[in-house]
């Protein structure tokens, strides 16, 4: 029958039975049903991946690899010799693992060095304070800064008491109400304090739990505003000074910081692949960041995310699987300074954005996995829900909204579907950016499960006949 005639007849039928949008909906539903059947056929492959990761020869491999890496290299601050050693280590390890197209892509990253630092309360008593200077902070003069303290609980209070703050050290004792909101004090506390004439700022660490542990992180100065030294202090010291101030007690602190910023340093994003069999130009990207802060071992943030990404490729390779699309792992550099390495990667590769099927990042710990967070249109979400059902054997089938990750955000803003690991991160900010971020936080069983999630999802999406809709 003539195709045009068929189309016309179909349209006439819809006029009697419903709208053209109803017809489109029925076609979409049929397509989703077909895709669901296609995905269901991966159940045995998914189980093979899960078994290999959880109870097979690869059991605990991601944990053991990460332990060797962090014990050998340590923490990996942007621009540091340790980060350079870490990149060389990974290049060699990925090559020896038999992965394809292992290479390094050069970028420039910030180079900030902490130097020696300490803070001493002089009044009302001598008390040595645990501090961690914030990334990009300037140092104090060589003689340090000795000044009276003003304690505030919000930016609003600071500006209401602006006349009192001039010439003083501003201590922020803001409550932790969630990372996204509370981190504004770490990021902009120094700038806001400088606007009212303060000589330094000390910020309560961004954490819901503390055992006298300061948390570091990046902070931003604003153009046209004087730069003042800034550091995080412990929850305990912030609360103590708030109590003292409430009683009207005068507080004086001596602050010494040797922080310096040097010209941007050479660094690399580290890349490895399993090349696709049918559509090698199309990419499913999995990732974590290789850099860390200069405290602890960077095992949780983000050694775990980087190493489950490596493990995902290893599991797929070990099973002799080769998806239709290329699986590309990128270990980002300079994430802690705002996704610096990832942004340069995006600028280099965005010309091929239409070939990026899915971008994935793990950067919220590798604790017990619950599933994924996902950003994409409704039809893509429906497909991903079917993919997640393959993870029923390990009870990690959840798919919530809002995939997140500093390094993949560039792609998601460009319309590429994005996913991030959704795990039980209830204790993540206990250890985040502290000396406690060590292998003791990591659990081999949980890393096995996270690796299985990462491998199953990335492989199945890369092997489907069609790319995810966008």
Read off the pLDDT of residues 272-298 as tens digits, 9 standing for 90 and up: 999 999 999 999 999 999 999 999 999
pLDDT in tens, 204-245: 999 999 999 999 999 999 999 999 999 999 999 999 999 999
Residue 2 has pLDDT above 80, yes or no: no
Query: In angstroms, rounded to a whole number, what is the distance separating the alpha carbons of residues 368 and 80?
Result: 32
Percent of the chain with pLDDT over 70: 94
Query: In angstroms, rounded to a whole number, what is the distance separating the alpha carbons of residues 337 and 342?
Result: 11
Pair 342, 268: CB distance under 8 Å? no
| Tokens encoding 169 | 């050290």
Percent of the chain with pLDDT over 90: 93
Mean pLDDT of 418-433: 98
The reply to whether omega before 182 is within 30° of 0 (cis) is no
What pLDDT sits at residue 50?
Answer: 98
What pLDDT sits at residue 31?
Answer: 84
Q: Is 335 assigned a catalytic role?
A: yes
Query: In angstroms, rounded to a whole number, what is the distance separating the alpha carbons of residues 65 and 56?
Result: 16
Tell me how crowded residue 131 is: count the other CB atoms within 10 A of its CB.
23
Pair 313, 99: CB distance under 8 Å? yes
Tell me how crowded residue 103 is: count the other CB atoms within 10 A of its CB.
14
In which band, very low, low, confident or very high, does the pLDDT at 23 lie, cut at 50, 70 and 90? very low
Catalytic residue from among 192, 311, 335, 361: 335
Cα of 276 vs its chain's centroid, Å: 26
Residue 141 has pLDDT above 60, yes or no: yes
For the chain, how many residues are written?
A: 470
Q: For 1-15, 144-158, 367-381, which range has the lowest pLDDT when averaged over its residues?
A: 1-15
Please name the helix (run of DSSP H) or strand (run of DSSP E) that holds residue 279, with its range, or none.
strand 279-289
pTM over 0.85: yes
Residue of 359, 375, 304 whose CA lies nearest to 64: 304
Residue 14 has pLDDT above 90, yes or no: no
Dihedral through CA 125, CA 128, CA 130, CA 135, nearest 10? 100
Residue of 233, 273, 267 whose CA lies nearest to 253: 233
Q: For 2-6, 273-277, 356-360, 458-462, which range has the lowest pLDDT when averaged over its residues?
A: 2-6
Q: What is the rounded average pLDDT for all residues in the chain?
A: 94
Residue 85 has pLDDT above 50, yes or no: yes
């Amino acid at each position: 029958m003539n195709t045009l005639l068929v189309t016309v007849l179909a349209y006439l039928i819809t006029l009697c039975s419903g709208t053209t949008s109803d017809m489109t909906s029925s076609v979409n539903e049929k397509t989703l049903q077909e895709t669901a059947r296609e995905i269901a056929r991966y159940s045995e492959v998914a189980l093979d991946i899960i078994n290999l990761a959880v109870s097979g020869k690869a059991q605990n491999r991601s944990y053991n690899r990460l332990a060797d890496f962090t014990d050998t290299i340590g923490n990996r601050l942007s621009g540091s010799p340790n980060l350079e050693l870490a990149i060389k280590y990974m290049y060699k390890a990925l090559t020896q693992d038999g992965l394809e197209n292992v290479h390094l892509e050069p970028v420039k990253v910030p180079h900030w060095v902490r130097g020696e630092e300490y803070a001493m309360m002089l009044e009302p008593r001598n008390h040595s304070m645990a501090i961690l200077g914030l990334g990009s902070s300037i140092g104090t003069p060589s003689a340090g800064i000795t000044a009276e303290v003003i304690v505030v609980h919000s930016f609003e209070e600071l500006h209401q008491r602006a006349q009192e703050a001039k010439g003083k050290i501003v201590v922020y004792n803001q409550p932790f109400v969630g990372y996204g909101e509370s981190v504004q004090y770490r990021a902009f506390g120094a700038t806001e304090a400088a606007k009212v004439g303060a000589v330094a700022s000390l910020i309560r660490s961004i954490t819901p739990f503390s055992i006298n542990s300061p948390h570091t992180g990046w902070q931003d100065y604003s153009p046209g505003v004087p730069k003042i030294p800034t550091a995080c202090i412990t929850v305990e010291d912030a609360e103590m000074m708030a109590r003292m101030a409430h009683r009207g007690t005068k507080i004086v602190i001596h602050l010494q910081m040797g922080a310096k910023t040097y010209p941007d340093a050479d660094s690399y994003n580290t890349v490895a692949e399993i090349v696709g069999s049918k559509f090698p130009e199309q990419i499913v990207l999995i990732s974590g960041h290789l850099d860390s802060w200069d405290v602890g071992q960077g095992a949780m943030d983000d050694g775990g995310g980087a190493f489950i990404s490596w493990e995902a490729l290893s599991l797929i390779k070990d099973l002799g699987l080769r998806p239709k699309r290329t699986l590309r792992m990128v270990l980002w550099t300079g994430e802690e300074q705002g996704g610096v390495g990832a942004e340069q990667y995006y600028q280099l590769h965005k010309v091929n954005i239409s070939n990026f099927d899915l971008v994935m990042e793990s950067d919220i710990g590798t604790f017990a996995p619950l599933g994924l967070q996902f950003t994409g249109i409704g039809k893509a979400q429906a497909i991903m829900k079917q993919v997640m059902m393959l993870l029923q054997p390990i009870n990690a089938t959840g798919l919530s909204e809002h995939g997140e990750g500093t390094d993949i955000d560039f792609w998601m803003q460009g319309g590429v579907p994005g996913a991030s690991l959704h795990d039980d991160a209830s204790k993540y900010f206990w250890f985040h950016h502290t000396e406690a971020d060590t292998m003791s936080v990591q659990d081999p069983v949980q890393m096995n499960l996270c690796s299985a999630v990462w491998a199953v999802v990335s492989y199945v999406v890369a092997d489907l006949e069609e790319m995810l809709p966008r």
